[in-house]
Amino acid sequence: MIESLSHITFIVSDLERTSRLFVEELGATQIYNSGDEHFSHSAEMFFKLGGLWIAIMEGDPLKERSYNHTAFYVEDCLLDQYRARLQQLGATVLPDRKRVKGEGRSIYFYDYDNHLFELHSGTLEQRLKSYANS
């Protein structure tokens, strides 16, 4: 039986650049860097972010963007700070999308390798309640 999410791996073209995004902008803690040793397919780094194990592995980036994304919970009062920092870093921050009142706010942005991330201030319970009231 599946008990929880183990980890998420993203294939990236530049480990150091993506590491800066995770550590400096999103607040992750780097916990491993394979350096010249390759125990898996290629060089890799591990991070802890919000209790999650995030891995990045060097390789060919996604060829195109899609709406497939990974979302992280962030307190609403911090969203504007994150938006400003991501824009300063040069991440592609998308315009806000129309939302149902009460479901929370989001920032969507692409990293350097076409991965879409969301910083979201709502919870599942809030979203279900807002949908039921619409």
What own/partner pairs with CB < 8 Å and gap ≥ 24 does 18-21 have?
18/56, 18/111, 18/112, 18/113, 19/45, 19/47, 19/56, 20/89, 21/89, 21/91, 21/111, 21/112
Asked whether 42 and 58 are in contact (CB, 8 A), the reply is yes
Q: Quick one: 45 and 95 in the same domain?
A: no
Q: How far out from the chain centre does Cα 133 lie?
A: 29
Question: From the candidates 44, 103, 118, 125, which is the catalytic residue?
Answer: 44
The three-state secondary structure class of 12 is strand
Q: How far out from the chain centre does Cα 130 lie?
A: 24
Q: Which domain holds residue 46?
A: 1-60
Whichever domain contains 78, its CATH number is 3.10.180.10
pLDDT (tens digit per residue) in 51-66: 999 999 999 999 999 9
pTM above 0.85, yes or no: yes
Q: pLDDT band for position 127 (50/70/90)? A: confident
> CA–CA separation, 18 vs 39, rounded Å?
20
Q: Quick one: 52 and 66 in the same domain?
A: no
Count of domains for the chain = 2
Q: Quick one: 73 and 100 in the same domain?
A: yes
Task: Determine whether 75 is an active site residue.
Answer: no
Position 129 pLDDT exceeds 80:
yes
